[in-house]
Amino acid sequence: MRTATIAEVEIPTAEDVYVIAEAGVNHNGDIELAHRLVDIAASSGADAVKFQTFSPDKLVSSTAATTPYQRDRGGSSDQRSLLESLTLPETAWAELRDHATQSGITFLSTPFDLDSAELLVALGLPALKVSSGELTNLPYLRQLSALGVTLLVSTGMGTADEVAAAVAACADAPGLVLFHCVSAYPAPVEECNLRAIPAMAGAHDVPVGWSDHTPGLTTALGAVALGAPILEKHFTADRALPGPDHLASLEPDGLTEYVLATKQLARALGDGVKRRMPSEEANATLVRRSWHAAVDLPMGTILEGAHLSLLRPEGGVSPALDIRGRVVSRSIPAGAPVTHSDLDA
C-alpha cells in the first residue's frame, strides 16, 4: 500500500491510529473558543486538531438553503448567513497554528476554495482535508493536488465510480488518504458500511480512514479493526452550545476516551504473527505439560507407556514428541521430568 505523510508521521503507522480531532466550525465564530478547542484537542491525546477555512461568498450562493439538520439546530434558513456567523478572520489561522504547535499537536484545516487552500499551505500546513461535498469537484481536486501537500479526501455521499474519479484527479498530490464517511449528523450506525474501508484500500492502494459522525465508540473500534489507520471525529467544548455541529460532537471527556480506546485497539491488533508473547513466558512453563517418569527409571530402561506420565510443568520433553522406545541414559526418579539429556541420542 502507498503511504502518506502528515507532519513526518507516516500513515499507516504500525500499531497506532492517527486521530484527527475535528473542531470544524464549533468555535461559533469566536476566536477565543477556537483557542479553547485547540487546548481540548491537545489534552485529549489526539494527533491533530482540524478546523474549516472558507469564504462564504466563494462557497455558496445567496439563495442556498441550509440542510435539514442545520435548521433543526437553530441555524439560519440560508447557508450564506449561517457560514458568515461561523467565519473566523484571516489572521486567526496563524494564531491557531502557532497555538497548536506550542501545544504539541498538528494543526490542520479543510479549505473550501483555492485561496483558502493556498493560505493554509503558505502557513506550513502539512496536509489539507477535502470535504465530502467536494468529492465530485474534480477541477478543485486537481488544483489542490498541485499544491505539494498530502490530501485527505472524504468520500461521503459518493459512489465507487466517483471515488475512483477523485483518486485519479489527485494523482499529482505527494500523498493521498481517503476517508470513508456517511454524511449524516449523526450518521445511522446501520448505514455505516464499514467494510467499504478495506474495499476502497484494496481498490486504490491508499490508506482509507473513517470520518466518524456516529455516536459512541462502536464504529470507530470497528473501523480500526478493519484496518483504518486514521480517524476523524467532531468535538466541542459543550454540546449545548448553539450551532449546527455541536450536538453530533464529543465533549472533552468523550474525546479523550475516544482517542485512548482507538489507540489501545490499534496496539492490540498487532502484526498477525501467532507466537508466544513475553507476558506469557512466566506462565507457559508452569501450565504446559511434559513427559515425567511415572516410576523410578534405571539407566538402560526402554521406555514404554507405563513408564511415563504427562504432567506439569514444561521442564521435560514436550508431549508433541513420542519418546516411547527411547533408551534412558541415566537413572530418573519417579515424578521427575524426562529431559532430552536423560535419553540416548
Per-10-residue mean pLDDT for the chain, 345 residues long?
A: 97 97 94 97 98 80 62 60 80 98 98 97 98 98 98 98 98 98 96 98 98 96 98 96 90 98 97 96 95 98 98 97 98 98 94
**In which element (H, E) is residue 83 found?**
helix 79-85
Ranges for all domains in the chain classified under CATH 3.90.1210.10? 278-342
pTM over 0.85: yes
Topology of domain 11-269 in CATH is: TIM Barrel (3.20.20)
Report whether CATH 3.40.50.300 matches the domain 278-342: no
Q: Alpha carbon of 167 to those of 87, 160, 183, 201, 340: distances in Å?
A: 30, 11, 19, 12, 61
The whole-number pLDDT of residue 82 equals 73
The whole-number pLDDT of residue 83 equals 75
Report the C-alpha gap between 336 and 284 in whole angstroms. Answer: 18
The whole-number pLDDT of residue 71 equals 55
Report the C-alpha gap between 323 and 313 in whole angstroms. Answer: 17
Sole residue written with cell 507405563: 306
The whole-number pLDDT of residue 239 equals 94
Ranges for all domains in the chain classified under CATH 3.20.20.70? 11-269
